Amino acid sequence: MRGDKRSSPRRVGARSNREGRLGCSPRVSPRGVSGSAWRSSVETTTPRCSQAVALTTATRTARYNPIRTHENKPKATRKQIEAALTLLNDVDKPLIVSGGGVLNAAAEDLLVQFAETVGVPVIPTLMSWGAIPDDHPLMAGMVGLQTSHRYGNVTMLASDFVLGIGNRWANHHTDSVEVYRKGRKFVHVDIEPTQIGRVFGPDLDIVLDAKAALELFVEVAKKWKASGKLKDRSAWVADCQQRKQTMQRKTHFDNVPMKPQRVYEEMNQVFGRDTCYVSTIGLSQIADAQFLHVYKARNWINCGQAGPLGWTIPAAPGVRAADPQRPIVAVG
């Protein structure tokens, strides 16, 4: 990118000399002197060039300064959690979007506990698949452009509120941001502050670790439920379950050669609930997400959107090394 090139100390020195801004020495070295030696002497002996280097280095550092979460995790107040629950409680068709941060924080049990307490269906992202079992009554399907379920997309369009926890609103999940946002309010909880508002501005944001957030959500939700403050969501949950039962993709084909859909049907019947699937990007990732079933956290090991084709080959032995007892199916 052009902005990155301008931030290079050497290019700053060269450009500034031509334009008369900082008066740094030119990049061209005298005859008989190597370019690297000449640039080194210029940067250490020319005061204005040293200032330019320091300035651009500081600017480059200031562009992105992620929070060091392992040293000082952010904290949220009870009022923030209550404000988020108030927004959720005021609507009729809320959803919880569980992102990969929920698994990273080992907060999948808290996620299910929170969803069951408030009676709100859960939409896992691709990186959070397995945080809630596929056959759980509150698992409403995945959403998005490719790695999605038909019933999940329809449920998302029918909703009026989304609480995102540990997610990043990736484009394969949202597809059209305009359509995704239309007619619904959003609360975004994430430990990384630069993710908040990066894709769109939520109605409320909370910078907090997913596990710490869910601990507070569960605590407040249980008190509200005990006092009769939470809405009854049984009708909304029934609608989501009905879509899940009637909008499954067809897999039972008798064609010869066998269709891929039938292969996935057989895989679901043969491999048990403890099976861990390892998958790369591309068509296999799309088909896996559309047809397979994942029932446990971290039983879907996937490179996400940035991985290369063939990633499954080294990844599957890595999973085996981490857990010698886990049943593994590598798909690529």
Q: Report helix, strand or coil for 213.
A: helix
At residue 103, the pLDDT reads 97
**74: preceding bond cis by omega (within 30 degrees):** no
Q: 287 has which bridge partners? A: none
Give the amino acid at 22.
Answer: L
Assign a CATH topology to domain 78-246: Rossmann fold (3.40.50)
At residue 66, the pLDDT reads 63
Task: Write out the E strands in the chain.
Answer: 94-98, 122-124, 161-165, 185-190, 204-207, 276-279, 300-302, 328-331
Assign a CATH topology to domain 260-331: Rossmann fold (3.40.50)
**Poorest-pLDDT segment among 7-21, 37-51, 242-256:** 7-21
Tell me where in the chain the CATH 3.40.50.1220 domain(s) lie. Answer: 78-246
pLDDT category of residue 246 using cuts at 50, 70 and 90: very high
The predicted model gives 305-313 an average pLDDT of: 80
Q: Give the tens place of pLDDT for each residue, 16-50.
A: 333 333 334 444 444 444 444 444 444 444 444 44
Q: Give the tens place of pLDDT for each residue, 146-175.
A: 889 999 999 999 999 999 999 999 988 999
Tell me where in the chain the CATH 3.40.50.970 domain(s) lie. Answer: 260-331
For residue 326, pLDDT over 50 is answered with yes
Q: In the chain, pLDDT over 90 holds for what percent of residues? A: 69
pLDDT category of residue 277 using cuts at 50, 70 and 90: very high
The predicted model gives 111-128 an average pLDDT of: 97
At residue 63, the pLDDT reads 62
**Poorest-pLDDT segment among 38-52, 139-153, 267-281:** 38-52
Q: Cα(117)–Cα(115) distance, rounded to whole angstroms?
A: 5
Give the amino acid at 74.
Answer: P
Greater confidence (54 vs 176) lies with 176
**DSSP per-residue string spanning 240-278:** HHHHHHH-PPP-----SSPPHHHHHHHHHHHS-TT-EEE
For residue 89, pLDDT over 90 is answered with yes
At residue 220, the pLDDT reads 97
Indicate whether this model's pTM tops 0.85.
Answer: no
Greater confidence (49 vs 296) lies with 296
pLDDT category of residue 53 using cuts at 50, 70 and 90: very low
Looking at every residue in the chain, the average pLDDT score rounds to 84
* Phi, psi dihedrals of residue 257, rounded to the nearest 5°: -65, 160
For residue 116, pLDDT over 90 is answered with yes
At residue 71, the pLDDT reads 61
**Poorest-pLDDT segment among 256-260, 301-305, 321-325:** 301-305
At residue 42, the pLDDT reads 41
Q: Cα(23)–Cα(16) distance, rounded to whole angstroms?
A: 6
At residue 65, the pLDDT reads 67
**Poorest-pLDDT segment among 13-17, 67-71, 184-188, 245-249:** 13-17
At residue 62, the pLDDT reads 53
| 156: CB partners within 8 A, 6+ apart | 95, 123, 143, 162, 180
Q: Are strands 204-207 and 276-279 parallel, antiparallel or unpaired?
A: unpaired
